[in-house]
Copies of this chain bind each other. A is one copy, B any other.
Amino acid sequence: MASSDGLPVAGFRLAAVSAGIKVPGRLDLVLMELAQDSTVAGVFTRNAFCAAPVQVARQHLAATIPRYLLVNTGNANAGTGGAGLADARRCCEAVAESVGVAVEQVLPFSTGVIGEPLPVDKIQAGIAAVCAVLGEENWAAAAEGILTTDTRPKLASRHLELDDQRVTLTGMAKGAGMLRPNMATMLAYVATDAAIAQPLLNILWTQAVEISFNRITVDGDTSTNDAAILVATGQAAAAPITDEGDPRCAVFAAALQELVLELAQGLVRDGEGASKFVAVKVGGGSSEQECLQVAYTIAHSPLVKTALFASDPNWGRLLAAIGRAGIADLDVDKVDVLINGVLIAESGCRAASYTEEQGVAAMAPSDIHIEIRLRRGDARATVWTSDLSYDYVRINAEYRT
Which residues in A have some Cβ–Cβ distance to B below 8 Å? 46-50, 76, 78-81, 113-115, 177-178, 182, 219-224, 300-303, 306-307, 309-310, 312, 314-317, 319-324, 327, 330, 332-333, 345, 347-350, 388-390, 392-394, 396-398, 400-401
Instruction: State the Cβ distance, A304 to closest chain B Cβ, in Å.
Output: 8
With a CB–CB cut-off of 8 A, which chain B residues contact A394?
390
With a CB–CB cut-off of 8 A, which chain B residues contact A333?
81
CB pairs A–B below 8 angstroms (15 shown): A47-B323, A47-B324, A48-B330, A115-B316, A178-B320, A182-B324, A220-B301, A221-B320, A222-B324, A306-B397, A312-B397, A312-B400, A314-B400, A316-B401, A390-B393
Q: Which residue of B lies closest to A303 (CB)?
A: B221
Q: Count chain B CB atoms within 10 A of each CB in A177, A321, A401 and give the residue with the most.
A: A401
Q: Is A79 touching B350 in the complex (CB atoms < 8 A)?
A: yes
Q: Is B48 touching A219 in the complex (CB atoms < 8 A)?
A: no
Q: How many angstroms between the C-alpha atoms of A333 and B51 in the bound complex?
A: 11
Instruction: State the Cβ distance, A187 to closest chain B Cβ, in Å.
Output: 16
With a CB–CB cut-off of 8 A, which chain B residues contact A393?
306, 309, 388-390, 392-393
Q: Is B49 touching A332 in the complex (CB atoms < 8 A)?
A: yes
Q: A219: which of B79, B302, B398 is its contact (CB, 8 Å)? A: B302
With a CB–CB cut-off of 8 A, which chain B residues contact A320?
47, 49, 78, 114, 178, 221-224, 401
Q: Count chain B CB atoms within 10 A of each CB in A221, A317, A349, A393 and give the residue with the most.
A: A393
Q: Count chain B CB atoms within 10 A of each CB in A50, A113, A303 and give the residue with the most.
A: A303
With a CB–CB cut-off of 8 A, which chain B residues contact A302?
219-221, 302, 388, 392, 396
- The 4 A-B residue pairs whose C-beta atoms are closest, nearest first, are A114-B316, A49-B323, A306-B396, A310-B397
Instruction: State the Cβ distance, A366 to closest chain B Cβ, in Å.
Output: 16
Q: Count chain B CB atoms within 10 A of each CB in A306, A307, A310 and give the residue with the most.
A: A306
Instruction: State the Cβ distance, A305 to closest chain B Cβ, in Å.
Output: 9
Q: How many angstroms between the C-alpha atoms of A209 and B389 in the bound complex?
A: 33
Instruction: State the Cβ distance, A179 to closest chain B Cβ, in Å.
Output: 11
Q: Which residue of B lies closest to A117 (CB)?
A: B350
With a CB–CB cut-off of 8 A, which chain B residues contact A50?
323
Q: A177: which of B303, B349, B397 is its contact (CB, 8 Å)? A: B303
> A310-B398, A392-B302 in contact; A114/B317 too (CB < 8 A)?
yes
Instruction: State the Cβ distance, A129 to closest chain B Cβ, in Å.
Output: 29
